[in-house]
Amino acid sequence: MQNLDEFTVTDETLRQMAGTANPRLKQIGEAAVKHMHAFAREVNLTPEEWLLGIQFLTEVGQKCSPLRQEFILLSDVLGLSAVVNALHDKKARELGSQSSLLGPFYREGVAVMPMGSQIVEQPTAEEIVVWGKVTDNDGAALANALIQIWQTSERGLYDLQERNGESMDMRGNFLTGQDGAYHFRSVRPLGYSIPMDGPVGEMVMMQHRHGMRPSHIHCLIGAEGYRELVTALYFGDDPNIDSDTVFGVSRSLVVEAREDPASPVPGLRSVHYDFRLAKAAAGDSGRVGADPTKMMKAAE
């Protein structure tokens, strides 16, 4: 038996974990232990602070539901999701359009809609049209690429918030034409605050951050043989475009709604954006996040 101190306990923990059969699990587990122990030593963590941290993580888990993923929100506001996205992009065979965050409000099971459909059931603001093409990196059109779209309403809320998940709205799936073209109608989504009524929101307020996301439209695009693209289009005139609280904005994803004679829907202001998909390696995906209803079911 040995007398363990704040340094030797790390070595003993790693020794007891050494039999982990899965090499990747062993690598991740060992690194997590080393960094957590080093963190505690660096800040001289007290028992009271340790308990507060345990309480915070417990409350984050308790806030999760089939309609809300508080842990993804925590990952987003701490910049971890953005780091994982960037690391994933570095492993790609080639890069297409810039990626962004999936976020905690993505949902599976949205119906494929006819090209040009309005994705908002009862719009109360000016309609806009979003249009363009999906191509490979050489500019060749990708037919039958699946484009999944979701956004907030003109009131700044997702359907999971406005409708408690009882029905889907502000969402649409579309298949590109033979020329790779797509277009749909919507309303301009309102920039919004992340949910501030939980432990993550309380943390953000304690950090004196505004908690706001600029106006944006989420896009998840896939085609056979190509790397799945998780991204979003951000409206450049939003006051929070330079201080997104989850670090999702990239310059290449900033757009504006304007009059455009080339738009497939005359008379509406439009956002024109062409997406490029990169060729995929075996098993390549790219998602950071998931449908919160599926995550809860998997845990039950």
Each domain of the chain, given as residue ranges in start order, spans 70-299
Please state, for a pLDDT cut of 70, what percent of the chain lies above it: 96
Say which range, 5-14, 95-104, 270-279, has the weakest mean pLDDT: 95-104
- CA separation (Å) from 119 to 85, 256, 269? 27, 19, 16
Say which range, 51-60, 129-138, 152-161, 198-207, has the weakest mean pLDDT: 152-161
Q: In the structure encoding, which two tokens stand for residue 187, read together? A: 């309303």
Give the model's pLDDT for residue 202: 98
Confidence class of residue 90 from pLDDT cuts 50, 70 and 90?
A: confident
Separation of alpha carbons 211 and 245, rounded Å: 5
Report whether pLDDT(299) > 60: no
Confidence class of residue 283 from pLDDT cuts 50, 70 and 90?
A: low
For residues 32-59, give the mean pLDDT.
98
Report whether pLDDT(185) > 60: yes
In this structure, are residues 198 and 219 in contact, taking their beta carbons and an 8 Å threshold? Answer: no
Confidence class of residue 298 from pLDDT cuts 50, 70 and 90?
A: low
Q: Which fold has domain 70-299?
A: Protocatechuate 3,4-Dioxygenase, subunit A (2.60.130)
Residue labelled with tokens 């309303």: 187
Mean pLDDT for the chain?
Answer: 93
Give the model's pLDDT for residue 191: 96
| Stated pTM of the model | 0.90
Give the model's pLDDT for residue 246: 96
Give the model's pLDDT for residue 40: 98
pLDDT tens by residue, 208-256: 999 999 999 999 999 999 999 999 999 999 999 999 999 999 999 999 9
Report whether pLDDT(134) > 70: yes
Three-class DSSP category at 213: strand
Strands 216-222 and 146-151: antiparallel
Q: In the structure encoding, which two tokens stand for residue 263, read together? A: 């738009």
